[in-house]
Structure 1
Amino acid sequence: MDPEGAVRLALDLLDRGWSVADVLVDVVAVAQREIGRRWLAGRWSVVQEHAATHVSEQVVAAVGRRTGRPTGPGHVVMACVEGEWHALAARIVAEVVRAGGWRVTFLGASVPPRHLVSYLHQTGPDAVLLSCVQSTRLVRAARMVAACRAVDVPVVAGGPGFGADGRWATAVGATAWGASARDAVELLDRHDHRVPAGAPAPPDDEHVAVLRRRREMVQGLTRALVPAGADAEPVAHAAAQVLDALAAALLVGDPELLAGFVRWQRQALGNRGALLDPLLAGCATALADHPRALSYLRLTRSD
C-alpha cells in the first residue's frame, strides 16, 4: 500500500482539471468496490481490506482539504444510520456535495436518532443526507427518517442498503434517493428534497413482532444449533442478522430484501453458509403465527 502515492495521484488529477466528483466517485469509489469484491471472493483478508480502505480515507481527506469552504446559504447534514459503521461512502458524498457549493456537516458513522434530532433543532439544515450500506439496518433508517420528518427536515437517502435502485427509500419515508454523490448534488440543486405529503405505512406490524422477539429467538436458535462447549457467537450473530433482514423486509413489504441478504450471506460465508438453512427453518417454526413472516421465510428457503 502506498498512501502517499495515492494522495499525490489524486491531487495531481485535481491540478489537471478533474473535479472533486471525478476523483472521488470515478476513482476512489470504484477502487473501494474492487476492494469489496476481493474481500468477498476471499482474495483479500480483512486486514488487507482495512489497509486499502485506510488509503482511500486518506485520499478523501486530502481532496477535502484542497476544496474551498462554501459560504452559500444552503446547509445539509450527512449522517450514517445508527449501527452502520461503514462511513467512507458517506464521507465521499459529503465532500462532493460540499464541492458543489453546499455547506455540509458530516456527523459520521452510527448516529443515534435522538442526537440527530437535537442537532437538527440547533442548526435547522435544508436536508439530511442519510447513508445506509446494509439493508438489515432499514428499520433503524425508518426511525431516523421519522425523527427528521418530525422536525420538518427532509431526507435524501443513499447507499445500497436502500436497494440497488433505491426501491426501499420511499418505503421508509425518505423524500428522494440518489445512486451516487453526483445524484445527491443534482437532487439538492433541483430542490427535489422537499418533504412529501405523508410517509407510507407498513401493511401490518409483523416487523414489530419480530423485533420484540429478536433476543428470545436468537437465544433459542443458538441453544438449538450450537453443540455443548462450542463457540456460540457466530451462530448468534448470524441469527440476529437474519432476523434483522426479515424485519426490514416486512417493514418495506418486499420478500426480495430477505432473499437477497441470504444469497449474499451464502456467498460471503462460504462453507459456513450451510448454517443459514437451519436458521431459516428455526425462524419459520418460531414465527408460525405470523403469516407474512412465514411466507417470506418459505420463499427464501425455496430460493
Structure 2
Amino acid sequence: MNGTTEHQGPSSELATATDGLWDAVIAGDEYAAADAVTTALDRGADAETVLLEIIAPLQARVGREWAANRLTVAQEHTATAINERSIAALAHHPAVRKALERHGERPRGRVAVACIDGEWHALPARILAEVLRLRGWQVDYLGAQVPTPHLIAHVHRTNPAVVALSSSIATRLPSAHAAVTACQATGTPVLVGGAAYGPDGRYAALLGADGWAPDARSAADRLAEGPLGKPPPVRQVIDDLPHLADQEYTQITRTARGLVRYVVTELPARFPAMADYTDQQRRRTAEDIAHIVDFLGAALYVDDPELFTGFIGWTAGILTARGVPARSLLPGLDLLAEQLVDYPRATDLLSRARDTLRHPLPEAAEGRIA
C-alpha cells in the first residue's frame, strides 16, 4: 500500500459503507457504525481507502452539518466519538492486524504523532497514525492536547525519526511554534498538518516546520519520499517572528480575560437586544467574545489579517445559520477597538473585521467560510 494509485472515487461497496456509517453516526449507534466499517473490510475494501474516503470525509460532513445548524453540539460530539470507535474497529480487524504483523518484521521507522497542547480535535491525528501504520511505520500515537514538555520527554526516550504534529484551530499556533522549536532542539524534524496551518500551509513555513501536509495521505506520501532534512538551528521565537517585538500579542493575551469581561459587561448598552437574552444565550455570547479575542491574538502572532477576518466571516455564517444577524458582532468589535486604541496592529485587524461584516463575501453570508 503506497498511496500512489489514482483514486477514481468510491465503488458501490464504498458508497454503501458510507451511507451505512452516516446513518449509524446520525442515529448515535456505534455498533452499527463498526459493522459498516468491518463489513466493507470483509468485502475486500482497502483499509486506507476506508479511512481516507469514508471516515475522513464523513467527519468533514459532520462539521458542515453542525455549521449549518442541522446538527447540535451534542450530536457533533457523538458523531466524532463514534468515528473514533469506527477507526478502532478497523485497526483491530483481522485483515488489518495481519498486515501490521507483516510490517512489524521490518518497520520503516518510528514516528510520533501528537496533537498540539490545547488541541482537542484528535481525529485527524488518529487517522494519520493509522495510515502510517498501514504503510509500515512504527507509530507512537500520543493523542489529544499533548503538553510540550511531555512530548519532548517522549522524544528523548524513544528517538523517533520524525514528529508529526496536528492542530485544527489557529489559536493553537503559538503553542505549535513552541512545540516545533522544542522538537527541533532535540535534532528531530517536524511534519505538521491540520486546518490551523492554513489551506496552503503558510503558517507551517512561518513557524519553521520542516514539512507540511494537507491530509493524511499527503503526509504519508511525504514521509515515504525520505527524510525531511536536518532541522534548522534553534532560534528564539522573537527572531523567527520579529513583529512580536511590539508586544501587542503578549499584552492582549495577558489581558484577554479582562477584555472579555469588559465587552460582555458593556455590550447590553450597545446591543439592546441582549436584554431579552436567556442565561444560555448570554453564556454563548461570552464564549463568542472569548473566541474573537483568542483569534485576534493568533492573528497578531502570525501577523496575518486574513486569519482574523476569515474567522469573523466564518462566525458570521454560523450566527446567520442560527437566526442571529451577523451584524450583531459589530458592537463587540467596536468595544474591543476602544479598549485597544493604543495597539495599532490590533486596531487595524478589528477595522478589517468590521469591514468584513459590513461588506460580507457571498460564501461568508452562506456560512461556507471555514
User: What TM-score results when the alignment is normalised by the length of structure 1?
Assistant: 0.91
Instruction: Give the match for residue 204 of structure 1.
Output: 243
Q: Deviations over 1:122-161 (max 9, x none)?
A: 1111111111111122122212212212222222111111
1:257 to 298, 304, 307: 307
Residue 72 of structure 2 corresponds to residue 45 of structure 1: yes
Question: Aligned-residue CA RMSD in angstroms?
Answer: 2.3
Structure 1 counterpart of 2:255, from 213, 227, 230: 213
Q: Which moved more, 1:13-22 or 1:164-173?
A: 13-22
TM-aligned CA deviation for residue 62 of structure 1: 1.1
Query: Which residue in the other structure is 1:31 paired with?
Result: 58
Superposed, 1:127-206 pairs within 5 Å as 127-197=162-232, 201-205=240-244, 206=248
1:266 aligns with 2:305: no
> Is 2:108–2:136's contact at 8 Å kept on the other side of the alignment?
no
- Structure 1 CA distance for aligned equivalents of residues 318 and 355 of structure 2: 19
1: distance between equivalents of 2:79 and 2:66? 11
**1:269 to partner: Cα distance:** 2.7
- C-alpha distance in structure 2 between counterparts of 1:211 and 1:282, whole Å: 17
Equivalent in the alignment of 2:88 = 61
Q: Which amino acid aligns with 1:14?
A: L
CA distance in 2, matches of 1:142, 1:276: 30
**Are residues 1:12 and 2:62 paired?**
no
Q: Is the 8 A contact 1:139 1:247 kept in 2?
A: no
Per the TM alignment, residue 223 of structure 1 is displaced from its structure 2 partner at its CA by: 2.1
Cα deviation 1:10-65 (Å, max 9, x = unaligned)? 23333444332211010001111111111111112223223322331221001111
- Report deviation, 1:91: 0.8
Q: Report the CA distance shift for 1:223/1:300 in structure 2 as closer, same or farther (over 3 A).
A: same
Q: Secondary structure of 2:127's partner?
A: helix
- Give SS of 1:183's match: helix
1:302 aligns with 2:344: no
Residue 111 of structure 1 and its aligned partner are, at CA, apart by 1.0
Give the percent of matched residue pairs that are identical in Structure 1 and Structure 2.
39
2:97 counterpart of 1:97:
no
- One-letter amino acid of the counterpart of residue 201, structure 1: D
**What stretches of structure 2 of length at least 5 have no aligned partner?**
1-23, 270-274, 357-370
Does residue 243 of the first structure (1) align with residue 285 of the second (2)? no
Q: Distance in 1 between matches of 2:189 and 2:159?
A: 11
Q: Is the 8 A contact 1:203 1:253 kept in 2?
A: no
Counterpart of 2:263, as a letter, is: L
Alignment partners' CA distance in 2, 1:297 and 1:193:
38
- What is aligned with 2:334? 281
- The farther-off stretch of 51-60 and 293-302 is 51-60
Task: Give the TM-score normalised by the residue count of structure 2.
Answer: 0.75
State the SS of the aligned residue for 1:168: helix
Q: Does 1:85 align with 2:106?
A: no
For residue 272 of structure 1, report the CA deviation from its aligned partner.
6.6
The aligned amino acid for 2:306 is E
Matched pairs, number: 303
Is the 8 Å Cα contact of residues 184 and 232 (structure 2) preserved in structure 1? Answer: no
CA drift of 1:282 comes to: 2.1
Q: What amino acid sits opposite 1:166 in the alignment?
A: G
209-218 or 32-41: bigger deviation: 209-218
Name the SS of the counterpart of 1:18 in structure 2. Answer: coil
Cα separation, 1, equivalents of 2:158 and 2:139 = 12
CA distances 1:83-138 after superposition (whole Å, capped 9, x unpaired): 21111121111100111111111111111111111111111111111111111221
In 2, the alpha carbon distance for the partners of 1:173 and 1:19 equals 35
AA in 1 matched with 2:78: A
Q: Give me the whole-angstrom Cα distance separating, in 1, the residues matched to 2:343 and 2:227.
A: 38
Judge conservation of contact 1:75–1:102 (CA < 8 Å) in 2. Answer: yes
Q: 2:242 is paired with a residue of what secondary structure? A: coil
Residue of 216, 219, 224 corresponding to 2:266: 224
- State the distance in 2 between where 1:140 and 1:269 align: 28
